[in-house]
Amino acid sequence: MYLANRAWPDLADYVADESLAVVPLGSTEQHGPHLPEGTDHMIAEALAREATERTGFLCTPPIPIGVSSHHRQFHGTMWVDAPVFRDYVESLSRNLTYHGIDRIVYVNAHGGNVAHLREVGRRLHEDGTAYAVEWMWDESIPDLIEEVFETPGPHGGPKETAMIMHIANELVHEDRLEEARDGGVVFDYDDERVHGATTFYDAIENSPNGVFGDQTDAMPEVGERLFEAATDQLVALLEWLDEQPLEDLLPEPHVEPRPDPDR
Protein backbone atom coordinates (compact mmCIF):
# COMPACT_ATOMS: atom_id res chain seq x y z
CA MET A 1 0.00 0.00 0.00
CA TYR A 2 1.59 3.26 -1.14
CA LEU A 3 0.61 6.02 1.29
CA ALA A 4 0.75 8.89 -1.21
CA ASN A 5 -1.76 7.20 -3.51
CA ARG A 6 -4.39 6.53 -0.84
CA ALA A 7 -7.20 8.61 0.60
CA TRP A 8 -7.23 9.06 4.34
CA PRO A 9 -10.17 6.68 5.05
CA ASP A 10 -8.17 3.89 3.38
CA LEU A 11 -5.28 4.62 5.71
CA ALA A 12 -7.63 4.55 8.68
CA ASP A 13 -8.62 1.04 7.68
CA TYR A 14 -4.93 0.07 7.50
CA VAL A 15 -3.93 1.26 10.96
CA ALA A 16 -7.02 -0.39 12.42
CA ASP A 17 -5.36 -3.73 11.64
CA GLU A 18 -1.66 -3.06 11.04
CA SER A 19 1.10 -1.04 12.68
CA LEU A 20 4.10 -1.46 10.35
CA ALA A 21 5.45 1.11 7.89
CA VAL A 22 8.26 0.99 5.35
CA VAL A 23 10.27 4.16 4.64
CA PRO A 24 12.55 4.10 1.55
CA LEU A 25 15.65 6.27 1.74
CA GLY A 26 18.61 6.92 -0.51
CA SER A 27 20.54 9.82 -1.91
CA THR A 28 20.86 12.15 -4.87
CA GLU A 29 24.55 12.07 -5.67
CA GLN A 30 27.05 11.25 -8.37
CA HIS A 31 27.20 7.61 -9.42
CA GLY A 32 29.83 7.96 -12.10
CA PRO A 33 29.46 8.90 -15.76
CA HIS A 34 27.03 6.05 -16.47
CA LEU A 35 24.33 6.12 -13.77
CA PRO A 36 21.71 8.70 -12.74
CA GLU A 37 22.21 10.75 -9.61
CA GLY A 38 19.02 9.27 -8.19
CA THR A 39 20.39 5.71 -8.27
CA ASP A 40 20.17 5.10 -4.53
CA HIS A 41 16.71 6.45 -3.85
CA MET A 42 15.38 4.80 -7.03
CA ILE A 43 16.64 1.40 -5.86
CA ALA A 44 15.27 1.91 -2.35
CA GLU A 45 11.84 2.98 -3.55
CA ALA A 46 11.57 0.16 -6.11
CA LEU A 47 12.38 -2.47 -3.50
CA ALA A 48 10.09 -0.92 -0.88
CA ARG A 49 7.20 -0.60 -3.32
CA GLU A 50 7.59 -4.18 -4.55
CA ALA A 51 7.86 -5.69 -1.07
CA THR A 52 4.84 -3.76 0.22
CA GLU A 53 2.81 -4.67 -2.85
CA ARG A 54 3.47 -8.31 -2.08
CA THR A 55 2.71 -8.04 1.63
CA GLY A 56 0.12 -5.27 1.86
CA PHE A 57 2.16 -3.23 4.34
CA LEU A 58 2.34 0.57 4.21
CA CYS A 59 5.04 2.30 2.16
CA THR A 60 5.73 6.03 2.54
CA PRO A 61 7.12 8.31 -0.17
CA PRO A 62 10.91 8.14 -0.37
CA ILE A 63 13.44 10.42 1.27
CA PRO A 64 15.64 11.16 -1.77
CA ILE A 65 18.46 13.21 -0.23
CA GLY A 66 20.77 11.87 2.45
CA VAL A 67 24.21 12.26 3.98
CA SER A 68 26.36 12.61 0.86
CA SER A 69 28.87 15.41 1.35
CA HIS A 70 31.70 12.95 0.59
CA HIS A 71 30.61 13.18 -3.06
CA ARG A 72 30.32 16.97 -3.09
CA GLN A 73 33.12 17.61 -5.61
CA PHE A 74 31.01 16.09 -8.40
CA HIS A 75 28.30 18.07 -10.22
CA GLY A 76 24.74 17.69 -8.98
CA THR A 77 25.44 15.93 -5.70
CA MET A 78 22.97 17.01 -3.04
CA TRP A 79 23.20 16.43 0.69
CA VAL A 80 22.04 17.52 4.11
CA ASP A 81 24.22 17.67 7.19
CA ALA A 82 24.11 14.54 9.33
CA PRO A 83 22.32 16.11 12.35
CA VAL A 84 19.67 17.57 10.04
CA PHE A 85 19.14 14.18 8.39
CA ARG A 86 18.82 12.40 11.73
CA ASP A 87 16.38 14.94 13.10
CA TYR A 88 14.29 14.89 9.93
CA VAL A 89 14.01 11.09 9.85
CA GLU A 90 13.24 11.00 13.56
CA SER A 91 10.52 13.64 13.20
CA LEU A 92 9.00 11.77 10.26
CA SER A 93 9.09 8.53 12.23
CA ARG A 94 7.39 10.10 15.25
CA ASN A 95 4.77 11.45 12.86
CA LEU A 96 4.07 7.88 11.77
CA THR A 97 3.72 6.75 15.39
CA TYR A 98 1.13 9.49 15.94
CA HIS A 99 -0.99 7.68 13.33
CA GLY A 100 -0.63 4.28 15.02
CA ILE A 101 2.62 2.90 13.58
CA ASP A 102 4.87 1.22 16.13
CA ARG A 103 7.40 -0.58 13.91
CA ILE A 104 9.33 0.90 10.99
CA VAL A 105 11.75 -0.51 8.42
CA TYR A 106 14.06 1.99 6.77
CA VAL A 107 14.72 0.55 3.31
CA ASN A 108 18.07 2.15 2.64
CA ALA A 109 20.27 2.13 -0.46
CA HIS A 110 22.98 4.61 0.56
CA GLY A 111 25.89 3.67 2.77
CA GLY A 112 26.28 7.21 4.09
CA ASN A 113 22.88 6.95 5.78
CA VAL A 114 23.50 3.74 7.72
CA ALA A 115 25.00 5.02 10.98
CA HIS A 116 22.49 7.86 11.18
CA LEU A 117 19.48 5.60 10.65
CA ARG A 118 20.80 3.32 13.37
CA GLU A 119 21.01 6.33 15.68
CA VAL A 120 17.41 7.31 14.91
CA GLY A 121 16.29 3.76 15.58
CA ARG A 122 18.15 3.81 18.89
CA ARG A 123 16.42 7.04 19.95
CA LEU A 124 12.96 5.69 19.15
CA HIS A 125 13.72 2.39 20.86
CA GLU A 126 15.23 3.98 23.95
CA ASP A 127 12.12 5.97 24.81
CA GLY A 128 9.77 3.14 23.83
CA THR A 129 8.13 5.07 20.99
CA ALA A 130 8.67 2.51 18.24
CA TYR A 131 10.92 -0.23 16.94
CA ALA A 132 12.77 0.97 13.83
CA VAL A 133 15.50 -0.87 11.92
CA GLU A 134 17.71 -0.03 8.96
CA TRP A 135 17.83 -2.49 6.04
CA MET A 136 20.43 -2.26 3.27
CA TRP A 137 19.59 -4.21 0.14
CA ASP A 138 23.08 -5.41 -0.82
CA GLU A 139 23.85 -6.53 2.72
CA SER A 140 20.85 -8.86 2.57
CA ILE A 141 22.25 -10.89 -0.37
CA PRO A 142 26.07 -10.92 0.01
CA ASP A 143 26.52 -14.48 -1.29
CA LEU A 144 24.64 -13.75 -4.51
CA ILE A 145 26.60 -10.55 -5.12
CA GLU A 146 29.86 -12.42 -4.58
CA GLU A 147 28.67 -15.13 -6.98
CA VAL A 148 27.76 -12.85 -9.89
CA PHE A 149 30.48 -10.17 -9.64
CA GLU A 150 34.23 -10.44 -9.26
CA THR A 151 34.57 -6.77 -8.24
CA PRO A 152 31.15 -5.42 -7.23
CA GLY A 153 32.54 -2.14 -5.87
CA PRO A 154 31.08 -0.20 -2.94
CA HIS A 155 29.73 2.67 -5.07
CA GLY A 156 28.58 2.98 -8.68
CA GLY A 157 29.85 -0.51 -9.40
CA PRO A 158 28.24 -3.37 -11.30
CA LYS A 159 25.77 -4.26 -8.54
CA GLU A 160 24.14 -0.80 -8.61
CA THR A 161 24.53 -0.61 -12.38
CA ALA A 162 22.75 -3.93 -12.85
CA MET A 163 19.95 -2.89 -10.49
CA ILE A 164 19.30 0.33 -12.41
CA MET A 165 19.47 -1.61 -15.69
CA HIS A 166 16.59 -3.67 -14.31
CA ILE A 167 14.64 -0.81 -12.74
CA ALA A 168 15.18 2.00 -15.29
CA ASN A 169 17.44 0.81 -18.09
CA GLU A 170 16.75 3.91 -20.15
CA LEU A 171 18.70 5.99 -17.61
CA VAL A 172 21.90 3.92 -17.90
CA HIS A 173 24.58 5.19 -20.30
CA GLU A 174 25.72 1.79 -21.49
CA ASP A 175 28.19 3.40 -23.88
CA ARG A 176 30.07 4.76 -20.84
CA LEU A 177 30.57 1.52 -18.88
CA GLU A 178 34.17 1.12 -19.95
CA GLU A 179 34.78 4.81 -19.23
CA ALA A 180 33.37 4.31 -15.74
CA ARG A 181 35.62 1.31 -15.10
CA ASP A 182 38.78 2.79 -16.61
CA GLY A 183 38.31 6.23 -15.03
CA GLY A 184 37.54 4.89 -11.59
CA VAL A 185 39.00 2.22 -9.33
CA VAL A 186 38.29 -1.47 -9.73
CA PHE A 187 39.36 -2.64 -6.26
CA ASP A 188 37.51 -1.94 -3.02
CA TYR A 189 38.96 1.26 -1.55
CA ASP A 190 37.96 0.13 1.95
CA ASP A 191 41.13 -1.99 1.85
CA GLU A 192 43.27 1.12 1.54
CA ARG A 193 44.41 2.10 5.02
CA VAL A 194 47.54 3.71 6.45
CA HIS A 195 48.80 1.75 9.46
CA GLY A 196 45.19 0.84 10.23
CA ALA A 197 43.86 4.38 9.93
CA THR A 198 41.25 5.60 7.48
CA THR A 199 42.93 8.66 6.03
CA PHE A 200 40.41 9.76 3.41
CA TYR A 201 37.09 11.56 3.62
CA ASP A 202 35.86 12.10 0.05
CA ALA A 203 35.26 9.63 -2.77
CA ILE A 204 37.34 11.68 -5.18
CA GLU A 205 40.43 11.07 -3.04
CA ASN A 206 40.28 7.40 -4.07
CA SER A 207 38.58 7.45 -7.46
CA PRO A 208 38.94 10.21 -10.09
CA ASN A 209 35.38 9.70 -11.37
CA GLY A 210 33.93 8.65 -8.02
CA VAL A 211 33.05 5.02 -8.74
CA PHE A 212 34.51 1.60 -7.97
CA GLY A 213 34.32 -1.87 -9.48
CA ASP A 214 34.02 -3.24 -13.01
CA GLN A 215 30.81 -1.78 -14.41
CA THR A 216 31.11 -3.82 -17.62
CA ASP A 217 30.05 -6.90 -15.62
CA ALA A 218 26.54 -5.45 -15.20
CA MET A 219 23.59 -6.87 -17.13
CA PRO A 220 19.82 -6.36 -16.79
CA GLU A 221 19.30 -10.08 -16.23
CA VAL A 222 21.69 -10.02 -13.29
CA GLY A 223 19.94 -6.92 -11.97
CA GLU A 224 16.66 -8.80 -12.03
CA ARG A 225 18.20 -11.63 -10.00
CA LEU A 226 19.52 -9.16 -7.45
CA PHE A 227 16.20 -7.33 -7.27
CA GLU A 228 14.15 -10.49 -6.76
CA ALA A 229 16.53 -11.92 -4.16
CA ALA A 230 16.68 -8.66 -2.19
CA THR A 231 12.90 -8.29 -2.35
CA ASP A 232 12.49 -11.80 -0.96
CA GLN A 233 14.74 -10.88 1.95
CA LEU A 234 12.82 -7.67 2.62
CA VAL A 235 9.48 -9.47 2.50
CA ALA A 236 10.78 -12.01 5.00
CA LEU A 237 11.96 -9.21 7.30
CA LEU A 238 8.60 -7.42 7.15
CA GLU A 239 6.67 -10.59 7.87
CA TRP A 240 8.98 -11.47 10.75
CA LEU A 241 8.71 -8.00 12.27
CA ASP A 242 4.93 -7.98 11.93
CA GLU A 243 4.71 -11.22 13.91
CA GLN A 244 6.73 -9.99 16.89
CA PRO A 245 4.81 -8.95 20.02
CA LEU A 246 5.49 -5.28 20.66
CA GLU A 247 6.63 -5.94 24.22
CA ASP A 248 9.42 -8.15 22.83
CA LEU A 249 10.66 -5.29 20.66
CA LEU A 250 10.78 -2.59 23.34
CA PRO A 251 13.71 -2.08 25.74
CA GLU A 252 14.32 -4.52 28.56
CA PRO A 253 13.74 -3.14 32.09
CA HIS A 254 16.63 -2.23 34.36
CA VAL A 255 18.01 -5.19 36.27
CA GLU A 256 17.00 -5.57 39.92
CA PRO A 257 17.43 -3.82 42.23
CA ARG A 258 16.28 -0.80 40.32
CA PRO A 259 17.69 2.66 41.14
CA ASP A 260 15.58 4.64 43.57
CA PRO A 261 14.66 7.91 41.83
CA ASP A 262 13.90 9.59 45.18
CA ARG A 263 17.26 8.81 46.72
**CATH of residue 217:** 3.40.50.10310
Q: What pLDDT sits at residue 222? A: 98
Give yes or no for a contact between 120 and 153, defined as CB atoms under 8 angstroms apart. Answer: no
Q: Is residue 261 part of a domain?
A: no
Q: What pLDDT sits at residue 189? A: 53
Q: Is residue 259 part of a domain?
A: no
Kindly report the average pLDDT of the chain as a whole number.
Answer: 95
Q: What pLDDT sits at residue 259? A: 81
Mean pLDDT of 165-183: 97
CA angle (47 as vertex; 250, 151 as ends), nearest 5: 105
**Confidence band for 188, pLDDT divided at 50, 70 and 90:** low
DSSP-assigned beta bridge partners for residue 135 = 107
Q: Is residue 57 part of a domain?
A: yes
Q: What pLDDT sits at residue 258? A: 81
Identify which of 166, 140, 139 has the alpha carbon closest to the alpha carbon of residue 221.
166
Mean pLDDT of 207-212: 94
Residue 15's identity, in one-letter code, is V
- The Cα-based distances of 220 to 18, 162, 167, 169, 251 in angstroms read 35, 5, 9, 8, 43
Residue-wise pLDDT for 48-94, tens only, equals 999 999 999 999 999 999 999 999 999 999 999 999 999 999 999 99
CA distance 176 to 173: 6
Q: Is residue 249 part of a domain?
A: no
Q: Is residue 22 part of a domain?
A: yes
The DSSP string of the chain is: -BGGGS-HHHHHHHHHH--EEEEEE--B---TTTS-TTHHHHHHHHHHHHHHHHH--EEPPPB---S-GGGTTSTT-B---HHHHHHHHHHHHHHHHHTT--EEEEEE--GGGHHHHHHHHHHHHHTTS-EEEEEEGGGG-HHHHHHH-S---SSSSHHHHHHHHHHHGGG--GGGHHHHHHHSBSS-GGG--BTTB----SGGGT-TTS-BS-GGG--HHHHHHHHHHHHHHHHHHHHHHHHS-HHHHSPPPPPSSPP-TT-
- The Cα-based distances of 153 to 59, 203, 247 in angstroms read 29, 12, 40
Q: Is residue 248 part of a domain?
A: no
Residue 163 belongs to domain spanning: 3-243
Q: What pLDDT sits at residue 191? A: 58
CA distance 257 to 143: 46
Domain total of the chain: 1
Exposure of 7 by Cβ count < 10 A (0-12 exposed, 13-18 middle, 19+ buried)? exposed
pTM score, two decimals? 0.95
Q: Is residue 160 part of a domain?
A: yes
Q: Is residue 257 part of a domain?
A: no
- The Cα-based distances of 114 to 19, 35, 43, 101, 117 in angstroms read 23, 22, 15, 22, 5
Q: Is the dihedral of CA 237, 248, 244, 18 positive or negative?
A: negative
